[in-house]
């Protein structure tokens, strides 16, 4: 109960009485107050091994400094005192107390020093005597009653005595006994709960509620200071006027930790500012530097904080105390690291990769379920109603909003930052996401940023996709927790839940999991197509073709199978609490058909994977009505979904702390920036110490050790920092330049090759230069680039695709093959047609059968991945374009992983030590796009001619030719202008004219890989034409 609340509860008479009593006590001569007897605190005399730690969550429950009941000390743990040294100060002035004592205090694992003069001891002693008398008087206010009740009966007894001898008369040879006397005095005070918990004692020994929290790291200097308002680096955060009239001075309790400083309001205990240690961290003192008498100025990338001390020597103590402590415990934060990153290279970090969202979503859900204190989420887009484990067999248990609500009810604090879109340009409805999440529970806090008008940031976005659990496990990659993202390696086009439309209606309930009851056998029952259209029999394959059977959906089922609800079935057998079955049978090649072993025989049948808005094809139609999550917005019986191919990762320990630090920096900046977030209901976040990062309470299974560095794109508008950071761009260029054998890139965009007018990032140039270097040295070198066949903008490609879609196509083609700056132009100038031996550009496409018709669709590549030499990987949210790479534009986050564990392999025909993380990821990517298995021997050597030419290029060319023949797909090399486009789409398709022959052709397809059509619309000017709304947008939006 706060003091303020108490005083409201008391009547005005009680208030007056309390004030009078307090004044009487304040003026009492404390020498008259002595009560006989002795008091000892039994709980701190013993030093039990089981010291109770203060939980990290205590940072969200701070109290006013004078309020009783706040836990400051570790339970069952004494505070040990040693007076280490005495400094004598000589002065021309007559100083009554020239000696300064350095006192070392130890409490559990925490050791800290305070400096005090003898006069401070005298003042402290007098204050304690006043407090002792005050406590004995029964003043009828609630706070005083609580304070009196907190002191055990018979507790106020004799205080230890302070030496009476004046300091100036003590000779040097008597200092050791004086030190011992002060030591004993303080030790005895700290043994008595009544005095130890008094706010004056805490101030004297420099402790607060946040001193002894294990995860905040070692204890630094603390104390009261005066701080000046303003000093923020971001325009608009400071007072508009100049001069002293505009400043406010406030009394605050300053706390120094190993990687940050913070100050608290003494009356409420609220944390009111956090200043992170970074490469610009610097402390100055003096009137000249700080414009303040006895001033202390602390700078970092975000703020120049001015404090006022009560003497020059006091300012010196603060400077020295902060400086020594940070240099000892936080030196990593003071340096700029490799690639100009804010984060150090962290060795022996557990890391894991994900190809496609199925396994990513599952691991994120499990990690959230294990959260004890905090969950941080930031996304470009977040859909609260998405299912994290599929197929759905446990009702809503694994729906994102349900997980977050459950954890919030358990006391976990959840902080979400969403990109606030320009509503006219984007339909992701972040306002709906925020409102939905905030209504779940008060422990869930959601911020949106930027405010486009007040911050004048119209063009740039927050693009990171992060989930951080307890600052110990951090998921980093390209996958938003949003509609359309969930997919697995099969990249299905259809999800009707049934062959016949009539029976599909039954599956439209929210449970959506209707399965067929199987025979009692525990073996999988083969599903033979029965009574299907004749062409469907064409897709029966032999075992060798198994990976591709996933292409044909809706393969019917034996009529003897009866339909029933899996929920009723599981309930009947007492299994409704069992784990989701979404993970079982992941290698199945039967498309949506899944089996579930329940111990009562096997269940077989079909389920729906994408519910409502999750079934999407955003080039066909962008999302609408997101506030109706379970209503379909495209007809799943006529339109195939667009599969989503993506990459993500998870890191643990120190690297996870670094990811969390970026989130915290952004959260705290947004809190200051937007007035609506300045209330206490949106707390400041504190970074946990790197010193406790190895204590992993939860670990994602199958992670491997590697060397990891966190890299980012951040700037003043996005993170509140003075200088922008583009460490992702620098890392990409460095990895490309230093690669020895190959580069494998998957990316949503491919916009590079700097002309220093429109495009500035140099990734494309680095690729071209690396290939030319290999050519000059006569060495094999391969570059694989996989990007989407079309940009992800709504538009009908059969009529040209729309302005936005064409603008992105223009810049992609400008990077690959059109114009003097393109990679192929740079290569052809020196190597002619031999470029084909070095680089390959591909996209992904698949096909299926939907309601008896053959359909095809491109697979949308959303990955942001680079692998080099089977030993280095970059995974993140950053696209290959200026928006993501330049640092000043979109905010991004990525990790660079370098393997420490190696496995024997082959590279360019030679024995090679490949990294465990990098090689396993490359093999999985190759398996997904080429078909086959992870252990396919053809895929082992990514550099040899046999693989590059006979597997990679041959597969891509053959698949592209077949798709062209059967479906006449767009984009196509046969269409160079819009006139040809109209002719092309009006010509008959084999898929319609001769489905039997078409199905025969499609059997020859392997995997999803297709050659990228370089000549599509090459005769057209693809940039927006004058007069369109897209032409009014600055060019930087597209690049």
Question: In 10 A of CB 467, how many CB atoms?
Answer: 27
Question: In 10 A of CB 318, how many CB atoms?
Answer: 22
Task: Take residue 61 and report the two structure tokens written for it.
Answer: 């429950």
Which residues, listed in sequence order, are joined to residue 308 by a DSSP beta bridge? 226, 295
Catalytic residue chosen out of the listed positions 258, 379, 401, 470: 470
Of 633, 589, 637, residue with least CA distance to 613: 633
Question: Residues 195, 160: contact at Cβ < 8 Å?
Answer: no
Catalytic residue chosen out of the listed positions 232, 864, 870, 890: 864
DSSP string, 542-606: -GGGGGGGGGS------TTPPEEEHHHHHHHTT-TTSPPSTTTTTT--STT-EEEE-SSSEEEE-
Half-sphere exposure of 408 (CA within 13 A, CB side): 19
214: annotated active-site residue:
no
Which positions ≥6 away from 852 have C-beta within 8 Å? 533, 536
Distance of CA 60 to the CA centre of its chain: 20
Reduce the secondary structure of 715-741 to three states and give it as a string. Answer: CHHHHCCCCCEEHHHHHHHHHHHHCCC
Which positions ≥6 away from 1016 have C-beta within 8 Å? 809, 970, 971, 972, 973, 975, 976
989: annotated active-site residue:
no
The span from the CA of 189 to the CA of 200, in Å, is: 12
Catalytic residue chosen out of the listed positions 125, 463, 590, 652: 463
470: annotated active-site residue:
yes
Phi-psi region of 987 (alpha: psi -120 to 50; beta: other; left: phi over 0): beta
697: annotated active-site residue:
no
Could you give phi then psi for residue 959, rounded to 5 degrees? -60, -45
Catalytic residue chosen out of the listed positions 646, 862, 870, 939: 862
Name the 3-class secondary structure at 635: coil
Of 49, 46, 83, 31, residue with least CA distance to 191: 46
Catalytic residue chosen out of the listed positions 465, 551, 611, 810: 465
DSSP string, 890-924: SBEEEEEEEESSEEEEEETTEEEEEEHHHHHHHHH
Task: Take residue 973 and report the two structure tokens written for it.
Answer: 């090399």
Name the 3-class secondary structure at 20: helix
571: annotated active-site residue:
no
- Residue written as tokens 């970059």? 874
Torsion of CA 259, 261, 267, 272, to 10 degrees: -90
The span from the CA of 805 to the CA of 1028, in Å, is: 13
Catalytic residue chosen out of the listed positions 278, 716, 869, 882: 869
| Element at 652 (helix H, strand E) | strand 647-652
* CA terminus-to-terminus distance, the chain: 56
DSSP string, 436-450: HHHTT-TTEEEEEE-
Question: Residues 369, 468: contact at Cβ < 8 Å?
Answer: no
Q: Inter-axis angle of helices 763-776 and 727-738, to 10 degrees? A: 10
Task: Take residue 349 and report the two structure tokens written for it.
Answer: 């970090």
Which residues, listed in sequence order, are joined to residue 1009 by a DSSP beta bridge? 844
- DSSP alpha helix (H) spans, 832-977: 882-885, 916-930, 945, 954-967
The span from the CA of 467 to the CA of 465, in Å, is: 7
Phi-psi region of 778 (alpha: psi -120 to 50; beta: other; left: phi over 0): left
- DSSP alpha helix (H) spans, 586-711: 653-673
611: annotated active-site residue:
no
Strands 222-228 and 304-308: antiparallel
The residues carrying an active-site annotation are 463, 465, 470, 862, 864, 869
């Amino acid at each position: 109960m706060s003091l303020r609340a108490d005083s409201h509860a008391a009547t005005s008479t009680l208030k007056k009485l309390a004030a009078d009593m307090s004044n009487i006590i304040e003026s009492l001569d404390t020498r008259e107050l002595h009560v006989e007897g002795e008091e000892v605190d039994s709980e701190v005399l013993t030093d039990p091994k089981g010291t109770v730690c203060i939980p990290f969550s205590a940072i969200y429950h701070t109290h006013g400094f004078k309020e009783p009941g706040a836990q400051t000390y570790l339970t069952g743990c004494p505070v040990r005192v040693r007076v280490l040294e005495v400094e004598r100060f000589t002065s021309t002035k007559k100083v009554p107390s020239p000696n300064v004592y350095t006192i070392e205090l130890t409490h559990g694992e925490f050791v800290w020093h305070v400096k005090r003069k003898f006069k401070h001891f005298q003042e402290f002693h007098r204050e304690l005597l006043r407090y002792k008398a005050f406590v004995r008087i029964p003043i009828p206010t609630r706070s005083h009653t609580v304070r009196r009740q907190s002191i055990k009966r018979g507790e106020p007894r004799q205080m230890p005595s302070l030496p009476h001898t004046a300091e100036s008369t003590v000779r040097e040879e008597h200092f050791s006994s004086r030190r011992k006397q002060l030591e004993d005095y303080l030790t005895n005070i700290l043994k008595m709960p009544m005095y130890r918990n008094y706010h004056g004692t805490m101030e004297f020994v420099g402790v607060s509620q946040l001193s002894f929290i294990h995860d905040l790291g070692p204890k630094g200097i603390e104390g009261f200071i005066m701080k000046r308002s303003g000093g923020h680096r971001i325009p608009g955060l400071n007072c508009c006027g100049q001069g002293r009239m505009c400043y406010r001075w406030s009394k605050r309790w300053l706390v120094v930790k190993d990687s940050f400083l913070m100050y608290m309001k003494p009356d409420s205990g609220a944390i009111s500012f956090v200043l992170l240690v970074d490469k610009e961290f610097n402390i100055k003192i003096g009137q000249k530097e700080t414009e303040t008498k006895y001033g202390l100025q602390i700078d970092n990338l975000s703020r120049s904080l001015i404090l006022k001390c009560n003497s020059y020597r006091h300012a010196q103590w603060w400077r020295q105390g902060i400086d020594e402590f940070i240099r000892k415990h936080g030196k990593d934060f003071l340096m700029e690291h490799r690639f100009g990153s804010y984060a150090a290279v962290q060795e022996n970090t557990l890391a894991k990769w994900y190809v496609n969202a199925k396994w990513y979503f599952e691991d994120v859900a499990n990690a959230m379920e294990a959260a004890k204190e905090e969950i941080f989420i930031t996304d470009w887009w977040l859909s609260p109603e998405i299912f994290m484990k599929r197929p759905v067999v446990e009702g809503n248990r694994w729906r994102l909003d349900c997980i977050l609500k459950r954890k919030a009810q358990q006391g976990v604090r959840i902080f979400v930052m969403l990109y606030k879109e320009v509503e006219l340009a984007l339909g992701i409805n972040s306002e709906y996401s925020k409102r939905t999440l905030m209504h779940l529970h008060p422990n869930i806090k959601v911020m949106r940023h930027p405010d486009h008008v007040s911050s004048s940031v119209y063009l740039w976005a927050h693009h990171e996709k992060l989930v951080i659990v307890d600052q110990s496990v951090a998921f980093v990659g390209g996958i938003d927790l949003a509609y359309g993202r969930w997919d697995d390696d099969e990249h299905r086009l259809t999800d009707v839940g049934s062959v016949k439309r009539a029976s599909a209606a039954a599956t439209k309930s929210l449970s959506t999991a209707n399965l067929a009851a199987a025979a009692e056998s525990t073996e999988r029952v083969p599903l033979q197509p029965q009574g299907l259209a004749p062409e469907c029999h064409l897709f029966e394959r032999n075992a060798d073709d198994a990976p591709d059977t996933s292409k044909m959906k809706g393969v019917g089922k034996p009529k003897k199978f009866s339909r029933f609800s899996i929920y009723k079935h599981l309930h009947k057998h007492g299994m409704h609490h069992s784990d989701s079955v979404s993970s079982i049978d992941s290698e199945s090649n039967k498309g949506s058909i899944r089996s579930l072993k329940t111990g009562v025989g096997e269940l077989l049948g079909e389920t729906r994977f994408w519910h409502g808005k999750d079934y999407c094809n955003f080039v066909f139609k962008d999302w609408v009505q997101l506030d109706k999550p379970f209503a379909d917005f495209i007809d799943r019986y006529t339109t195939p979904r667009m599969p989503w191919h993506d990459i993500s990762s998870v890191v643990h320990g120190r690297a996870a702390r670094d990811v969390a630090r970026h989130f915290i920096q952004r959260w705290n900046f947004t809190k200051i920036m937007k007035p609506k977030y300045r209330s206490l209901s949106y707390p400041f976040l504190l970074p946990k110490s790197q010193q406790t990062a190895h204590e992993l309470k939860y670990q994602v299974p199958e992670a491997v050790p590697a060397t990891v560095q966190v890299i980012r794109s951040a700037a003043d508008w996005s993170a509140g920092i003075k200088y922008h950071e583009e460490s992702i761009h620098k890392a990409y260029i460095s990895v490309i330049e230093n690669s020895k054998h190959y580069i494998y890139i998957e990316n949503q965009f491919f916009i590079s090759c700097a002309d220093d007018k429109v495009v500035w990032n140099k990734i494309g140039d680095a690729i071209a230069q690396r290939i030319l270097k290999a050519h000059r040295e006569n060495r094999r070198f391969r570059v694989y680039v996989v990007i989407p066949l079309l940009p992800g903008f709504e538009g009908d490609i059969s009529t040209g695709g729309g302005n936005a879609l064409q603008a992105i196509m223009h810049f992609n083609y400008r990077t690959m093959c059109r114009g003097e700056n393109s990679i192929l132009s740079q290569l052809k100038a020196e190597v002619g047609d031999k470029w084909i031996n070095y680089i390959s550009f591909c996209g992904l496409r698949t096909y299926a059968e939907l309601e008896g018709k053959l359909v095809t669709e491109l697979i949308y590549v959303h990955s942001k991945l680079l692998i080099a030499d089977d030993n280095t990987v970059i995974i993140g949210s950053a696209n290959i374009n200026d928006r993501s790479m330049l640092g000043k534009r979109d905010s991004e986050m990525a990790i660079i992983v370098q393997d420490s564990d190696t496995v024997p392999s082959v590279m360019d025909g030679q024995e090679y030590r490949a990294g465990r993380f990098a090689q396993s990821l490359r093999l999985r990517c190759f398996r997904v796009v080429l078909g086959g298995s992870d252990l396919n021997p053809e895929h082992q050597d990514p550099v040899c001619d046999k693989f590059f030419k006979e597997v990679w290029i041959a597969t891509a060319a053959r698949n592209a030719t077949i798709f062209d023949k059967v479906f006449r797909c767009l984009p196509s090399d046969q269409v160079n202008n819009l006139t040809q486009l109209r002719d092309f789409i009006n010509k008959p398709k084999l898929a319609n004219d001769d489905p039997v022959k078409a199905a025969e052709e499609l059997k020859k397809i392997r995997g999803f890989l297709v050659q990228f059509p370089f000549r599509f619309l090459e005769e057209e000017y693809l940039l927006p034409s004058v007069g369109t709304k897209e032409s009014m947008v600055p060019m930087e939006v597209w690049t």
